């Protein structure tokens, strides 16, 4: 009844957390202003493939504020949720992080009694200038080689890497069977927001 009353008063914003949700210890995640995060939330197919998915911020005990759900897609918003019901997981993305975004977040599935929490994140956003974290480049390249090549072509002023070169690790290296015929100088901006990296979640 408590959840039903809360749901009626504010059907979009407030819900009662499922029993046992507060027993989960949140995972710490530190970011700087301007950075982005992507959180992966997994669920059992038989449990939630056809149910509503939520990303909410805890505001007080047993209550959280729904930030985004798969039923609420806001054009141009800093938050998004992409569900893959056939695979049993969904992604939550927060961009252009601000200090006031700091707090405890839950991703979960809507049940009749509230939200069944799948994962808890304690996000801490600090002030500071945002530079791409090159410590994360190895992970980024492993999973996003094609996207990285495309981004480098867009943001570089003069891409001086031969067409027959390929990316490997942290630098461009020629394919073993090919010899580079020439070079063009590569310039990258000192500061860029184009390289989004999600190394923690």
User: How do 165-168 and 114-126 pair as beta strands?
Assistant: unpaired
The whole-angstrom separation of Cα 107 and Cα 160 is 44
The whole-angstrom separation of Cα 27 and Cα 120 is 6
Q: Using DSSP, how many helices (H) and how many strands (E) does the chain show?
A: 4, 11
Summarize pLDDT for 92-101 with one digit per residue, the tens.
Answer: 999 999 999 9
Question: How would residue 113 be classed by pLDDT, with cut points 50, 70 and 90?
Answer: confident
Sheet with 79-84, strands from edge to edge, namely: 37-42, 89-94, 79-84
Summarize pLDDT for 147-180 with one digit per residue, the tens.
Answer: 555 555 555 544 454 444 444 444 444 444 444 4
Contact between 118 and 24 under an 8 Å Cβ cutoff? The reply is no
Contact between 78 and 94 under an 8 Å Cβ cutoff? The reply is yes
Task: Provide the residue ranges of all domains of the chain, joining segments of one domain with +.
Answer: 2-126, 131-201
Q: How far is CA 199 from CA 36, 47, 90, 100, 160, in A?
A: 10, 28, 17, 22, 28
Q: How far is CA 152 from CA 66, 129, 157, in A?
A: 36, 22, 9
> Looking at residue 135, what DSSP letter applies?
G
The pLDDT of residue 91 is 93
Class of domain 2-126: mainly beta
Percent of the chain, pLDDT > 90?
Answer: 33
pTM of the predicted model as reported, rounded to 2 decimal places: 0.57
């Amino acid at each position: 009844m408590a959840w039903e009353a809360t749901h009626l008063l504010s059907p979009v914003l407030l819900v009662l957390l499922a029993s046992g949700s507060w027993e989960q210890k949140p995972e710490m995640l530190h970011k700087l202003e301007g950075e982005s995060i992507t959180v992966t939330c997994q669920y059992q197919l038989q449990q939630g493939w056809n149910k509503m998915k939520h990303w909410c911020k805890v505001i007080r005990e047993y209550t959280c504020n729904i930030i985004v759900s798969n039923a609420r897609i806001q054009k141009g918003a800093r938050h998004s949720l992409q569900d893959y019901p056939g695979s049993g997981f969904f992604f939550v993305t927060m961009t252009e992080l601000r200090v006031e975004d700091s707090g405890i977040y839950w991703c979960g599935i809507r049940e009749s009694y509230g939200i069944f929490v799948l994962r808890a994140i304690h996000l801490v956003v600090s002030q500071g200038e945002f530079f791409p974290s090159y410590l994360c480049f190895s992970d980024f390249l492993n999973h996003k080689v094609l996207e990285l090549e495309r981004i480098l072509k867009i943001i570089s002023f003069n891409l001086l890497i031969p067409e027959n070169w390929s990316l490997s690790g942290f630098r461009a290296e020629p394919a073993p069977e090919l010899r580079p015929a020439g070079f063009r100088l590569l310039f990258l901006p000192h500061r860029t927001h184009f390289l989004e990296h999600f190394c923690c979640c």
